[in-house]
Amino acid sequence: MLSLSHSYRCCWLFLFGFLLSSAQPLLAQTSPTSTLLRPAAVFDGETLHTGWQVLVEGDRIKAVGPNLLTPAGARTLELPGLTLLPGLIEGHSHLLLHPYNETPWNDQVLLESQALRVARATTHAQRTLLAGFTTARDLGTEGAGYADVGIKQAIDQGITPGPRLLVATRALVATGSYGPKLSTDVEVPQGAQEADGPEGVVRAVREQIGRGADIIKVYADYRWGKGEPARPTFSQEELNLIVQTANAAGRPVVAHSSTPEGMRRATLAGVQTIEHGDGGTLEVFKLMKQRGVALCPTVAAGDAIAQYQGWHKGQGALPERVQQKHISMEAALKSGVTLAFGGDVGVFAHGDNVREAELLVQDYGLTPLAVLRQATSGNARIFGLIDRGRIQPGLLADLVAVQGDPTRDVMALRQVRLVMKGGVLYKQP
Ligand SMILES: [Zn+2]
C-alpha cells in the first residue's frame, strides 16, 4: 500500500507540475466556471417561462431570461424537452430513519448502532439529492444524538453527496411523553431529549444550539401511553421560553403537533412551522394564519403508516387517520394558512420525497403549480433561506431539470434528469 500511494504521489506531482508550467490556458478552457443551460422551459419558483435559459457562474446564478448568449469559454448544456426548476426543498426529513415497514421505529432507536444508522444516512442523503432535493430540513435524529451535525459537515466538505442540511439534532420532549416505552421497570434511551420546567428547557435548547442545531424541534403533544390519543405535553410557559431562547440565538423553532391545544400553544409561543397538524381545526388554522405560522402537513407519512397497518390503498373505506387528515386539510385550505412542503421522509423511503407532492395533488386537490411553489420559493421564504428557492441572478446555482412540465403534471417530478448544487453537477443527461 505504501509503495502504491508513493508512486501515485509521484504521478500527481508530475501532472501538477506539468499543468502549472505548460497547460494552464488549456485547463481554464476545459473546466469552465460558467455554464449556460438551455432547457425547454424555466420554472423560476413562481411562474413557468418557455424559451428561457439560465447562466451559471461559479456557485451562483448569473443570469436568467430569453436569448442569453454563451460567454466565451463557457460550456453549454442543451436540455431539450426538460423544465429547469430551483432545487427542491424538503421541509421534513429524518435522514437517520428508514421506513418503519423495514424496521419498526422502536427497534431503530434501540437496536441499531449509531455507526449503522450513519452509514445508512449517507446513502439517504445521496438519494435525496439525486431526487432533486438540494436542501432539506432534517427534523430530529430520533435517538442518534448529534449525528446529523456530522452528516451535514460531511456533505458540506464534499465527503458524501447530499442536500444542504438544516439540522434539528436531538429534538425536545417533555419527560415521559415520548418513546420508546418498554416495561415500566426498564429505563431505555429515548428518541429525543427530555427537558422540563423553565431552567430545564432553556438549558436543553442552549445545549443543542451549542452542539450544532440550526433549528429547535419541540414535541408540543404526543400520546402519553400506547393506544391513547395525543395530548399536550409542554406548558405554554415552557414553549414560550423554548422559542425565546432559540430565537435569541437566531434559530427558529418547529413544533410537532396534532392536537388543537398543542397547536394553539405552539402558535402563541411563536414557532415557525407546525408539523403534521392532523387534528387541526378551522379555528386553530386561522390562528396560525393570523400569527404567521405555517403548516407542514406531511400527508405522505400518515398515508404510509396507514398502509403499513394494513390499508390497501384504493380498496374499501379510508382508514380513520386518513379520513381525519382529509377533514383537517380541508379546514387548513379553507383557513388560508400557509403550507410548507415536507413529507416526514424516513417514515417512507428517502429519495421518494416527491410522494408528498403527488398525494397533495392526487388525494388533496392541490394544483401541481401550487405544490411546486411550496417546494421551492415557498419553503425558502418560510425557512428564511433568502439565497435559494428561486431562479434569479445572485442566488445559489441549485438547479434541477425534469422531463416534461411539472407545473401541469406533478409526475414529471419523478423524471429528474439533471441535478446541480452550488454550480456542481451531480447528475446530467
Ligand atoms: Zn418527523
**pLDDT of 276-301, one tens digit each?**
999 999 999 999 999 999 999 999 99
The candidate with the shortest Cα–Cα distance to 54, out of 387, 405, 372, 69, is 69
Cα–ligand 1 centroid distance for 298 (angstroms): 8
Cα–ligand 1 centroid distance for 141 (angstroms): 9
Backbone angles phi, psi at 138, to 5 degrees: -100, 110
Q: What is the mean pLDDT of the chain?
A: 93
**Using an 8 Å Cβ cutoff, are 62 and 55 in contact?**
yes
* Model pLDDT, residue 33: 85
Beta bridge partners of 296: 275
**Using an 8 Å Cβ cutoff, are 133 and 340 in contact?**
no
Cα–ligand 1 centroid distance for 9 (angstroms): 46
Q: Is 259 helix (H, G, I), strand (E, B) or coil?
A: coil
The architecture (CATH level 2) of 88-353 comes to Alpha-Beta Barrel (3.20)
* Model pLDDT, residue 32: 57
Cα–ligand 1 centroid distance for 94 (angstroms): 6
Cα–ligand 1 centroid distance for 248 (angstroms): 25
Cα–ligand 1 centroid distance for 74 (angstroms): 42
Measure the CA dihedral 360/361/364/365, to 10°.
140
The Cα 42–Cα 49 span in angstroms is 5
Chain-centre distance for alpha carbon 13: 41
**For residue 19, pLDDT beyond 70:** no
Q: Which residue has the cell 397497518?
A: 309
Pairing, β 253-257 against β 273-276: parallel
Helix H segments across 299-345? 299-308, 320-335
**For residue 252, pLDDT beyond 90:** yes
Beta bridge partners of 77: 37
* CA pseudo-torsion sign 23, 29, 30, 31: positive
Cα–ligand 1 centroid distance for 173 (angstroms): 13
Cα–ligand 1 centroid distance for 296 (angstroms): 10
Kindly report the CATH number that applies to the domain delimited by 31-86+392-427.
Answer: 2.30.40.10
Cα–ligand 1 centroid distance for 256 (angstroms): 8
**For residue 262, pLDDT beyond 60:** yes
Cα–ligand 1 centroid distance for 65 (angstroms): 38
Per residue in 153-210, pLDDT tens? 999 999 999 999 999 999 999 999 999 999 999 999 999 999 999 999 999 999 999 9
Kindly state the percentage of the chain with pLDDT values over 70. 93
Cα–ligand 1 centroid distance for 237 (angstroms): 24
Cα–ligand 1 centroid distance for 343 (angstroms): 8
What is the maximal distance between C-alpha atoms in the chain?
74
Cα–ligand 1 centroid distance for 93 (angstroms): 6
Residue spans of the domains in the chain: they are 1-30, 31-86+392-427, 88-353
How does 36-64 read in b/e, with b if 16+ C-beta sit within 10 Å?
A: bbbbbbbbbbbebbeebbbbbbeebbbbb
Per residue in 21-66, pLDDT tens? 333 333 333 345 899 999 999 999 999 999 999 999 999 999 999 9
**For residue 76, pLDDT beyond 80:** yes
* Model pLDDT, residue 316: 87
Name the residue type at position 172: L
> pLDDT confidence of 14, banded at 50, 70, 90?
very low
Whole-angstrom CA distances from 69 to 52, 55, 316 are 11, 9, 57
Name the residue type at position 125: A
Rounded to 5°, the CA angle 235-296-189 comes to 55
Strand locations in 115-157, DSSP E? 133-138
Cα–ligand 1 centroid distance for 317 (angstroms): 26
Cα–ligand 1 centroid distance for 190 (angstroms): 15
User: Ligand 1 being an ion, which residues bring their Cβ within 5 A of it?
Assistant: 344
